[in-house]
Amino acid sequence: MKLILLGPPGAGKGTQAVRIEENYGCIQLSTGDMLRAAVAAGSEIGREAKEIMARGELVPDAVVVKIISDRIDEPDCSSGFILDGFPRNVTQAQALDDMLTDKNLKLDAVVEIAVDDGILISRIEKRALETQGGPRDDDNAESLKKRLSVYHEQTAPLIKYYKEKGVLRSVDGMADIDNVSKQIEEVLKQR
């Protein structure tokens, strides 16, 4: 199973990805987690990404495209993967198309987890309070506003992009966690 989870910050992509991992034996590839690990390790990519991420802006396309391309080549991705947080704009989506063609791989589905902005803000504020080790650098009101506007301007156009390719499946992300998982299972069965 190879799929993309698409949705705004706080939509529950990470939570659902963990469940899909367990059900289908594929691996969650979160560019946000990978970049945070790079920041924590103080690598060159991490140093480049740190401030950009804290502001809620996007890290350069070439950086994330290379991270994902290299990661997909690892043996543990051979049984499938869930892209969480990538692609985040049309340039990245096109790079992903090219990369999958080169690697002779094909996406099974793109699952959109749809959630209204009002709910996202309260969810992320709650997450910031509950995160062990303190909130993320970007879980503050200003970055959050930026992340939502980046989502609407740059990432939301991917809904149309994948709809036109006939691979988009949407679920209601405002339902409770188990219900969202069930909806995802249903759309993945239908593929």
User: Which amino acid does the sequence have at 42?
Assistant: G
Catalytic-labelled residue, pool 2, 36, 50, 147: 147
Near ligand ADP in 74-113, by CB under 6 A: 85-86, 88, 92
> In 3D, which of 37, 35, 44, 9 has the Cα closest to residue 152?
9
Sign of the CA dihedral 133, 68, 172, 179? negative
- Burial label for 121, CB within 10 Å (0-12, 13-18, 19+), is middle
Near ligand ADP in 17-46, by CB under 6 A: 31-32, 35
**Which residue shows structure tokens 């989870």?**
5
Scanning 8-60, the segments in alpha helix (DSSP H) are 13-24, 31-41, 44-55
Catalytic-labelled residue, pool 13, 19, 50, 169: 13
Of the candidate residues 29, 59, 158, 168, the single one contacting ligand ADP (CB under 6 A): 59
Of the candidate residues 3, 64, 111, 113, the single one contacting ligand ADP (CB under 6 A): 64
Q: How far is the CB of 180 from ligand ADP (least distance, A)?
A: 15
Decide if 55 is catalytic: no
Q: Return d(Cα 26, Cα 43) in angstroms, integer.
A: 27
* Piece of the chain touching ligand ADP by CB under 6 A; list 57-65, 74-82, 109-117, 171-179: 57-65
Count of residues touching ligand ADP (by CB under 6 A):
17
Decide if 13 is catalytic: yes
Task: Give bridge partners of residue 27 from the DSSP assignment.
Answer: 81
Our CB check for ligand ADP shows the closer of 9 and 173 to be: 9
| Catalytic site positions | 13, 88, 127, 136, 147
